[in-house]
């Protein structure tokens, strides 16, 4: 039985000496993945799901961050929650920044 790894190695061997784009297409075909399979509607739904998930993480982290500051307990440190909030904020902003190649 031929596995995905074997298909990928065969695709790389067959595309030896070709351009990187041709190699990437051969590997993607061997893996059975293609961006052509996704309709614009699917891409839009996937994008909205990722952005919605990041927004949910930000809201949860901000709420928990506020709670740890306002609880009045000096032993509670909000460092981890601040890290989660800023990381998710950075990821969310990254979705809206134009690619340097565009």
| DSSP string across 7-76 | HHHHHHHHTTTS-HHHHHHHHHHHHT--GGGS-HHHHHHHHHHHHHHHHHHHHHHHHHHHHHHHT--TT-
pLDDT score at 2? 63
Distance set, CA 84 to CA 4, 53, 59 (Å): 35, 13, 11
pLDDT score at 48? 87
Per-residue pLDDT of the chain (102 residues; tens, 9 = 90+): 567 677 778 777 888 888 878 887 877 777 776 666 777 788 788 888 888 888 898 888 888 888 887 887 777 777 877 888 888 888 888 877 766 665
pLDDT score at 33? 66
- Strands, DSSP E only, in the chain? none
């Amino acid at each position: 039985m031929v596995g995905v790894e074997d298909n990928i190695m065969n695709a790389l061997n067959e595309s030896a000496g070709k351009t990187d784009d041709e190699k990437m297409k051969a590997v993607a075909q061997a893996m059975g993945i293609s961006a052509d399979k996704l309709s614009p509607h699917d891409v839009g739904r996937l994008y909205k799901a990722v952005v919605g998930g990041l927004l949910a993480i930000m809201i949860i982290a901000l709420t928990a961050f506020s709670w740890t500051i306002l609880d009045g307990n000096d032993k509670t440190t909000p460092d981890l929650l601040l890290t989660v909030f800023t990381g998710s904020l950075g990821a969310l902003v990254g979705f809206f920044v134009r690619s340097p190649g565009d």
